[in-house]
């Protein structure tokens, strides 16, 4: 069974930095796009950044220039380096991936991690 596990969240002051990671494990045949989303209490989950298997990246306007998404395909891991953090960045951050799970007969599907809390104090 495929599992995505995030790590690296925590409490940081405004202007500080955090680095998140998300490792996928299980019967993975191939991983396509990977992404980070975030969700603040009482609000909708929103896209933060995406990265394709070839390394092409896209960012939400609110984080562009401050966050960097990257991946290590050999480790099935996606990262999110967050710099110049603002209180508005406070949210639970979730990683997800489009991948093919051999345990599901080669069906391409989206998998989500459990989330990691990022809190930015002013």
Alpha-carbon distance of 9 to 78, in angstroms, equals 14
Mean pLDDT of the chain: 95
Residue (of 53, 51, 122) closest to 88 by Cα position: 122
- Can you give the pLDDT at residue 105? 86
Output phi, psi for 88, to 5 deg.
-65, -15
Q: Sorting pLDDT into bands at 50, 70 and 90, what band is 63?
A: very high
In DSSP terms, which residues pair with 119 in a beta bridge? 11
pLDDT digits (tens, 9 = 90+) for 68-112: 999 999 999 999 999 999 999 999 999 999 999 988 888 899 999
Helices (H) and strands (E) in the chain, counts: 0, 11
- Can you give the pLDDT at residue 29? 87
């Amino acid at each position: 069974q495929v599992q995505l596990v995030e790590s690296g969240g925590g409490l940081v002051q405004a202007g500080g930095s955090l680095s998140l990671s998300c490792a996928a494990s299980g019967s993975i045949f191939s991983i396509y796009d990977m992404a980070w989303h975030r969700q603040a209490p009482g609000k909708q989950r929103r896209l933060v950044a995406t990265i394709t298997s070839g390394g092409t990246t896209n960012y939400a306007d609110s984080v562009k220039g401050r966050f960097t998404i990257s991946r290590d395909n050999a480790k099935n891991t996606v990262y999110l380096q967050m710099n110049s953090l603002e209180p508005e960045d406070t949210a639970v951050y979730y990683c997800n991936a489009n991948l093919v799970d051999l345990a599901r007969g080669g069906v391409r599907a989206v998998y989500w991690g459990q989330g990691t809390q990022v809190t930015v104090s002013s």
